[in-house]
């Protein structure tokens, strides 16, 4: 369990023969046990947390008890489920009855959920061992994990750099070998962008594929849970456990969830890869452009058809997202009033309820969350609703139609996950520059389509070798073909 090297010549890729899928098999084959594997990860968590800060809480006792019971069941010839033997980390906005669920916020510092999220129940039922809760931007608002009330998370590929966000702790847990995989949530890119910055795979399924029951709501029409992993087939394995209808979430789809990797990778010669012109601009880091060009060349070399696609609404995504997401957040976060949940300011003599609410929310929420609540309240106010919120919903429809048209010409869209690799801690604290990180990721949430980030190799910046991500997007509910195509491109990228 070593931290990835920061040596610029080091390989950017995980060993393909050492992912969750193979590790789980080695436990089944009796070569190791869940408990032994867990102990080495607990040691890694303890030794790296002071520097990397991936975890807010390590669930040592619970994890040990689960691992021991998984091993006992395997020894007794039972099948504890497809994820038996695996160790998984969970973003701290996903409710667990074990430990706290803080959302990286003082507002929920001591919150203990009375129920498990559906995804937690499904992971445990599949035999997974949960190692702990990972740090995140406060209420998942951010792209760097710097808004976490417990301090920033650091990138193992460059200790003074951000891991991306908001699922930064989950990405670092996977990148630094402290978990086989992790769960994140993605409202505008929060699984894919940290996966890109940390050299992992990050998968956001179609809106409605995975239950949001027990995910603390940020932007309910955009939020989706998904895995961060070492390989595409790991992402598929976890996705298949999590996906499917849930009576506790009326937005889940009852479409069947197919075993995505059953038919193996896609034949590259039959692939139609769309390249959105608007994702190849001068705003991209030169190393990102160079890597992409090499990967497109190697796709051509194996016979894939490369198709130029126009997505002229790309740049409207950020403005649309930053109206819709804060609007929904301002409504979702109104429940934190100091009375029903979480933090409450010390009452002052003679103070009324309104003042107590206001002080509780001013003290409990950090500046970015307050900014979003104000922005959201403003765009929903009677005088501005039509000019901002209603207009954003209209643009949302147009963005969806733009994707629908693109997918009549190609099977997937390929581009960078982020315009640049991980940036220095503190470099993008000005909100607009932070928001622009997500220029390529928000539109998948706006349209509700599935999207995955896979490692794209390393680029150099100031003498540091940093991972970049490639994003693949597909039509709604086409997870099976997206994962198969991603797996094909994943192997191509290694040699590009
Ligand atoms: N970075 C975006 C934001 O700050 C997206 C966050 C997310 O996907 N949770 O809102």
Q: Strand, coil or helix: what is 225?
A: strand
Look at residue 164 and tell me whether its pLDDT is greater than 80: yes
Per-residue pLDDT at 8 exceeds 80: no
Mean pLDDT within 278-290: 95
Residue owning the nearest CA to atom 5 of ligand 1? 188
pLDDT, mean of residues 474-496: 94
pLDDT of 118 above 80: yes
The rounded Å distance from CA 444 to ligand 1 centre is: 12
Under DSSP, the state recorded for 246 is B
* Sign of the torsion formed by the C-alpha atoms of 156, 190, 264 and 245: positive
- 14-44 pLDDT, tens digit per residue, is 998 899 999 999 999 999 999 999 999 999 9
> What pLDDT score was predicted for residue 13?
85
Ligand 1 mean position, distance from CA 480 (Å): 25
Looking at every residue in the chain, the average pLDDT score rounds to 95
For residue 425, the SS3 value is coil
* Start-to-end CA span in the chain (Å): 27
Number of structural domains (the chain) is: 1
List pLDDT tens digits, range 217-235: 999 999 999 999 999 999 9
Buried b (16+ CB within 10 A) or exposed e, 182-199: bbbbbbbbbbbbbbbbbb
Ramachandran angles phi, psi of 461, nearest 5°: -145, 125
Atom of ligand 1 nearest to the CA of 325: 10
pLDDT on residue 9: 37
Span 431-450, mean pLDDT? 96
CATH number of the domain within which 140 lies:
3.90.1300.10
Mean pLDDT of the region 274-292: 96
Whether pLDDT at 2 is above 50: no
pLDDT at 325: 98
CB 4 within 8 A of CB 173: no
Q: Is pLDDT at 5 greater than 60 in this prediction?
A: no
95, 214 contact by CB (below 8 A): yes
Residue 466 pLDDT > 60, yes or no?
Answer: yes
Per-residue pLDDT tens digits for 362-418: 999 999 999 999 999 999 999 999 999 999 999 999 999 999 999 999 999 999 999
Residues 22, 230 contacting (CB under 8 angstroms)? no
The answer to whether 253 is a known catalytic residue is: no
Under the banding of pLDDT at 50, 70 and 90, the label for residue 92 is very high
State yes or no: is 190 an active-site residue. yes
Query: How would you list the strands of the sheet with 464-473, edge to edge?
Result: 55-58, 129-134, 87-91, 181-186, 224-229, 201-204, 451-461, 464-473, 412-416, 272-276, 305-309
d(CA 102, CA 94): 9
- pLDDT the model gives residue 11: 57
User: How far apart are alpha carbons 212 and 250 in whole angstroms?
Assistant: 9
Residue 35: predicted pLDDT: 98
Distance CA 152, CA 340 (A): 28
Q: How far is the CA of 216 from the centre of ligand 1 (A)?
A: 14
Q: Residues 12, 105, 166, 170: which is the catalytic one? A: 166
- Catalytic: which of 12, 91, 481, 487? 91
Task: Record the tokens describing residue 493, joined without a space.
Answer: 């990228």
Q: Is 430 helix (H, G, I), strand (E, B) or coil?
A: coil
Task: Compute the average pLDDT of residues 251-278.
Answer: 91
Tell me what the mean pLDDT of segment 294-311 comes to: 97
Mean predicted confidence (pLDDT) in 65-92: 98
Residue-number span of the structural domain to which 128 is assigned: 1-496
Residue 343 neighbours by CB under 8 Å, 6+ apart: 106, 107, 108, 109, 336, 360, 363, 364
């Amino acid at each position: 369990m070593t931290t990835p090297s920061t040596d610029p010549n080091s390989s950017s890729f995980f060993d393909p023969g050492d992912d969750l899928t193979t590790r789980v098999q080695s436990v089944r084959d009796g070569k190791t046990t869940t408990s032994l594997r867990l102990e080495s990860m607990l040691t890694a968590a303890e030794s790296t947390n002071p520097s990397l800060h991936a975890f807010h809480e390590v669930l040592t006792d619970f994890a040990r008890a689960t691992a021991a019971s998984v091993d006992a069941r395997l020894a007794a010839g039972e099948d504890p489920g497809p994820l038996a033997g695996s160790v998984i980390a969970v973003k701290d906005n996903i409710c667990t009855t074990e430990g706290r669920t803080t959302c990286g916020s003082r507002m929920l510092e001591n919150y203990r959920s009375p129920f498990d999220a559906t995804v937690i129940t499904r992971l445990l039922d599949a035999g997974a061992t949960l190692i702990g809760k990972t740090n995140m931007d406060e209420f998942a608002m951010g792209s760097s994990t710097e808004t976490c009330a417990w301090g920033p998370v650091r990138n193992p590929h460059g200790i003074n750099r951000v891991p991306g966000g908001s699922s930064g702790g989950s990405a670092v847990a996977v990148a630094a070998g402290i978990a086989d995989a992790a769960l994140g949530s993605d409202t505008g890119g929060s699984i894919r962008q940290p996966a890109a910055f940390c050299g992992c795979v990050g998968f956001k399924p179609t809106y409605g594929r995975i239950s949001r029951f027990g995910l603390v709501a940020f932007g309910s029409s955009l939020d989706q849970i998904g895995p961060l992993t070492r390989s595409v087939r790991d992402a598929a394995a976890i996705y298949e456990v999590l996906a499917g209808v849930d009576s506790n979430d009326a937005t889940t789809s009852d479409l069947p969830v197919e075993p995505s990797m059953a038919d193996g990778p896609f034949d590259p010669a039959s692939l139609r890869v769309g390249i959105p012109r608007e994702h190849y601009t001068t705003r991209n880091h030169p190393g990102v452009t160079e890597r992409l060009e090499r990967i497109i060349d190697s796709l051509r070399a194996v016979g894939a058809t490369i198709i130029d696609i126009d997505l002229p609404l790309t740049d409207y995504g950020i403005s649309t997202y930053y109206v819709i997401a804060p609007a929904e957040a301002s409504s979702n976060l109104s429940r934190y009033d100091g009375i029903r949940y979480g933090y409450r300011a010390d009452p002052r003599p003679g103070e009324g309820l309104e003042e107590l609410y206001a002080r509780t929310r001013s003290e409990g929420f950090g500046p970015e969350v307050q900014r979003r609540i104000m922005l959201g309240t403003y765009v929903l106010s009677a005088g501005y609703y039509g000019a901002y919120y209603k207009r954003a919903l209209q643009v949302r429809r147009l963005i969806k139609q733009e994707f629908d048209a693109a997918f009549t010409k190609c099977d997937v869209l390929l581009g960078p996950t982020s315009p640049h690799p991980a940036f220095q801690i503190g470099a993008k604290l000005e909100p607009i520059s932070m928001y622009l990180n997500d220029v390529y990721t928000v539109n998948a949430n706006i349209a509700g389509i599935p999207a995955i980030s896979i490692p794209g190799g390393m680029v150099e910046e100031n003498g540091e070798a940093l991972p970049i991500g490639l994003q693949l997007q597909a039509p709604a509910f086409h997870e099976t073909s997206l994962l198969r195509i991603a797996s094909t491109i994943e192997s191509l990228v290694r040699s590009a």
